């Protein structure tokens, strides 16, 4: 089974002032671990970057946080809407790579993560949230996301890849 992994909006402008350092570091530990597993098995890792409102003078604020490891083999998709599929090439990229199961992590659980999850489902992909890999400025939103959406725990991922 071909897996795809989306790391959504883990950018300075979105994360720094909304999540404390300890919470960010913990989520990035999971995000990086899963990224490494997937890269080692030639699976697809995509960084989604929200560029809405970006201007040349503030471009560096839209960089991916240094806590998230980015590999040369990773793809990047820019977006201007909450749903990472809306008016982007994401759906076609996933189809071109034969992705069936889509693991989703990143910021913010109540906005872009949720809307992308729904967009993936509407387009026939099987989305799951990475347990401990989604962030929000509001802890109750994480609890709701875990309750209302399909989850995957990181130890399951190597098993799936080796099937």
* Cα 14 from chain centroid (whole Å): 13
> What are the tens digits of pLDDT across the range 31-72?
999 999 999 999 999 999 999 988 888 788 899 999 999 999
Residue of 95 and 1 predicted with greater confidence: 95
CA 80 → CA 6, 18, 52, 55, 103, distances in Å?
16, 20, 5, 13, 21
CATH superfamily for domain 3-161: Isochorismatase-like (3.40.50.850)
Is residue 163 over pLDDT 80? no
> What are the tens digits of pLDDT across the range 4-34?
999 999 999 999 889 999 999 999 999 999 9
Does residue 94 contact residue 44 with C-beta atoms inside 8 Å?
yes
Q: What is the largest CA-CA distance in the chain?
A: 48
């Amino acid at each position: 089974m071909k897996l795809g992994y989306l790391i959504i909006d883990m950018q300075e402008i979105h994360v720094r002032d909304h999540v404390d350092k300890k919470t960010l570091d913990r989520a990035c530990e999971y995000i990086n671990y899963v990224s490494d597993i997937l890269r080692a098995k030639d699976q697809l890792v995509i960084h989604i970057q929200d560029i809405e409102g970006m201007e040349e003078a503030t471009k560096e604020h839209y960089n991916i946080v240094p806590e998230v490891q980015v590999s040369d083999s990773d793809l990047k998709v820019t977006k201007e809407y909450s749903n990472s599929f809306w008016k982007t090439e994401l759906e076609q990229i996933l189809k071109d790579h034969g992705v069936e199961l889509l693991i989703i992590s990143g910021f913010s659980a109540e906005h872009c993560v949720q809307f992308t999850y729904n967009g993936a489902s509407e387009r026939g992909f099987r989305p799951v949230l990475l347990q401990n890999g989604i962030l929000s400025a509001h802890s109750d939103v994480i609890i709701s996301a875990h309750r209302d959406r399909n989850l995957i725990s990181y130890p399951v991922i190597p098993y799936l890849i080796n099937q």
